[in-house]
Amino acid sequence: MSKILLLGSGELGKEFTIAAQRIGQTIIAVDNYENAPAMQVAHGFEVINMLDGAELDRIVAKHQPDFIVPEIEAIRTERFYDYEKQGITVVPSAKAANFTMNRKAIRDLASKELGLKTANYRYATSAEELQKGVEAVGIPCVVKPLMSSSGKGQSTIKSPEDIAKAWNYAVEGSRGDVVEVIVEAFVKFNSEITLLTVAQNNNPTLFCAPIGHRQERGDYQESWQPARISDKDLHEAQDMARKVTETLGGAGLFGVEFFLTDDGVYFSELSPRPHDTGMVTLAGTQNFNEFELHLRAVLSLPIFEITLEKAGASAVILASENSNNPTYSGIENVACLPKTDFRIFGKPTSRPYRRMGVVLANDNLETPIEKIVERAKKIATLVKVNS
């Protein structure tokens, strides 16, 4: 069986570790703090600054993994090319990890190299450059750090007075050592989807049923599967996702985000790993959840098909205050409900709006998806995170 070095040990890494444990893989979980969620279920763990190339080299040499699986952006990803030369498989590939850990590389690849339809965008390394970028793309527009996760540092500029505040917020929310932002024109979209795309080594690329989601503060609040989409838009999104994942190379699950507009599909972002909105698949919506799909693709275990079994929704459980020892109440109120489940991530600390768990709801495919989303959203309010 294989040894996997997991770089980043949050809730997505925890579910991936559980999937790997079920089929006998060895997981070493890595993060910059102790008792991260994935560390609680892994065979071993390391606490390092993953932006320190020497520290990365040290733990790779120490553990000699067969696979390196990144779960976050803030990693010295240029070291991955050396690890590949040593015979270690980087997931999905060193190229994919490098391109997608930085919004600049993946956006330029999608827009300039592959010609995919994207929002008009500019980059900025200072508040002054951001001002020029805003003038170029127009107001309203969206500002994001080039390296961040879970919507950190993302804001919408609605007037010129917002520019300085957006710059400062983006810098505060930036991960890694890249102090640069992307400013993009606001796309008038009807909805957003995540298309989970599974690239396989020796088998065809597969797609999960599209996932819809709603965001606040740049982070998802509810997600649902299947999302409503026309056949034309779905084929267009699948074609875009196939092009960009094939160009990046390697095997694994990619979370590819799109805007659905009156004039077609716009490519938005891509993550080379399980996606937070894809936690809805833990509701039993598919024959394999997204973590199982990622693992099987990584290990070159053939995936014959992905089938949609139920309609489902996820809704996040958020903390409201800072705590070094969060506890939970109201879980029994969720447990007694039909067609409902939950996950508590086990994060050792909380802060306002930190995602601490998720509620999952499902029903048959004939049930209107809006009803399932509203049920999940309402049930999530039953769980309280206490200090």
Q: Is 242 a catalytic residue?
A: no
Q: How far, in Å, CA of 107 to CA of 94, rounded?
A: 17
Catalytic hit among 31, 257, 292, 363: 257
Where on the phi/psi map is residue 349: left (φ > 0), alpha (ψ -120 to 50), or beta? Answer: beta
**Nearest residue to 28 (alpha-carbon basis) of 52, 8, 1, 55:** 8
Please tell me which residue in 55, 269, 309, 374 is annotated as part of the active site.
269
What are the tokens at 6? Answer: 């997991």
Known active-site residue 177: no
Give catalytic status of residue 180 as yes or no: no
Among 57, 82, 151, 309, the active-site one is 151
Active-site residue, selected from the candidate residues 46, 184, 276, 292:
276
The Cβ of residue 302 has, within 10 Å, a number of other Cβ atoms equal to 10
261 classed as catalytic:
no
Decide if 277 is catalytic: yes
Out of 355, 357, 363, 375, the active site residue is 355
Asked if 265 and 240 touch (Cβ cutoff 8 Å), the reply is yes
* Side-chain half-sphere CA neighbours of 283 within 13 A: 33
User: Is 276 one of the annotated active-site residues of the chain?
Assistant: yes
Q: Tell me the sheet residues that pair with 44.
A: 28
**Which residue of the set 149, 197, 223, 314 is catalytic?**
149
13 flagged as catalytic:
no
Amino acid at 278: G
Say which of 277, 281, 314, 323 is annotated catalytic.
Answer: 277
Residues recognised as catalytic: 149, 151, 257, 269, 276-277, 355
